[in-house]
């Protein structure tokens, strides 16, 4: 658990309702990762040769810190956000708002993204599910 995640968990436990995201917005902390072979070598993707960097086609992963209350449908019924706090999400490369300061928290050097739930491409409910998925995919 990261320091920022611990702070947000404490905020939810000790002062619930003091900081509320509107609608179906989600606050996400970016996660850095490497793809490794079975032998432990870092695997460079095809973009290395075309663009000179592994960042070009690398997925942007994040850990959900806060989730909005959801939205209202046209018929007035409420639709809560499906993605839970703590989930590992795959973010789009565009259409996220990168935040450098947030509610008095020192977030310099950390990447926080504000994104609408509908923009999340895929998610894992827990970090354990993500780790299991990565283990299986690396052993295939």
Query: Per-domain residue ranges for the chain?
Result: 3-138
pLDDT tens for each residue of 15-64 = 777 777 888 889 888 887 666 666 666 655 444 444 444 454 556 889 99
Mean pLDDT across the chain, nearest whole number?
76
pLDDT of residue 35: 62
pLDDT of residue 11: 76
pLDDT of residue 105: 58
Contacts of 71 (CB under 8 A, 6+ apart): 23, 24, 78, 79
The helix or strand, by DSSP H or E, that contains position 47, with its residue range, turns out to be helix 47-51
Q: Cβ(3)–Cβ(50) under 8 Å?
A: no
pLDDT tens for each residue of 108-125 = 556 788 888 888 889 999
With b for 16 or more beta-carbon neighbours within 10 A and e for fewer, the 96-113 pattern comes to beebeebeeeebeeebbb
The helix or strand, by DSSP H or E, that contains position 27, with its residue range, turns out to be strand 25-31
Contacts of 105 (CB under 8 A, 6+ apart): 4, 7
pLDDT of residue 93: 73
Hey, what CATH class is 3-138 in? mainly beta
């Amino acid at each position: 658990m990261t320091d920022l995640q611990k702070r947000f968990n404490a905020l939810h436990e000790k002062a619930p309702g003091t900081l509320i995201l509107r609608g179906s917005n989600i606050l996400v902390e970016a996660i850095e990762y490497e793809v490794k072979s079975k032998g432990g070598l870092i695997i460079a993707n095809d973009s290395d040769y075309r663009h000179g960097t592994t960042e070009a086609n690398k997925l942007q992963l994040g850990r959900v810190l806060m989730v909005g209350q959801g939205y209202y449908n046209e018929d007035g019924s409420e639709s809560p956000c499906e993605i839970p706090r703590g989930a590992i999400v795959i973010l789009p490369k565009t259409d996220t708002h990168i935040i450098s300061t947030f509610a008095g928290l020192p977030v310099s050097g950390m990447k926080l993204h504000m994104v609408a739930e509908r923009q999340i491409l895929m998610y894992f409910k827990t970090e354990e599910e993500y780790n299991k998925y990565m283990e299986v995919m690396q052993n295939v």
